[in-house]
Amino acid sequence: MIVRDATAADAVAACEVMRASIAELCAADHGNDADVLARWLANKTPEHFASWLADADASLMVAVEDEVVLAVGRVKDDGEITLNYVAPAARFRGVSTALLNAMEVRARSRGATHCHLASTETARRFYLARDYTEIGMSESMFGTSACYLMSKAL
């Protein structure tokens, strides 16, 4: 498995990973509420992927194995992690940790001293186990159950 910068050719597979991750792994957050799920999935499209890829102030990255996209992440140059999704079949294999590490390295190389993010209930333990600290709560994303603001010094 390798982590690399995403390309336009990754768009469809990456969006499938994000959509499956949300639908299948984040039920504690969306509660299988069709409206919440629709709002959350609305921007997980190849068109949005292309706009994320074109953003010069952020890095869109994928973890791949044998050219199969296993995870998708995005980190802004200021250290804000805006995407971090893993394919359900790749969960608990170290893929998410490798992707997170790569995003932190990228943020640090672009001058960030901290990474920060808004975590779901589902991902909260993952980030806490990787030295992120809760710094507050925010309005829920897309109508999900909770939104934990987290930070980690690089």
pLDDT exceeds cutoff 80 at 75: yes
* Inter-residue contact 81 to 73 (CB < 8 Å): yes
* Inter-residue contact 112 to 147 (CB < 8 Å): no
* Inter-residue contact 44 to 23 (CB < 8 Å): no
For the chain, what is the largest distance between any 2 Cα atoms, rounded to a whole number of angstroms? 40
pLDDT exceeds cutoff 70 at 37: yes
How high is the pLDDT of residue 15? 97
Helices 46-54, 11-20: inter-axial angle, 10-degree rounding: 110
How high is the pLDDT of residue 145? 65
Residue 28 CB: number of other CB atoms within 10 A?
A: 13
Cα–Cα distance measured from residue 36 to residue 28, given in angstroms and rounded to the nearest whole number:
12
pTM for the complete prediction? 0.93
Classify domain 2-113 at the CATH topology level.
Answer: Aminopeptidase (3.40.630)
Name the more confident of 141 and 110.
Answer: 110
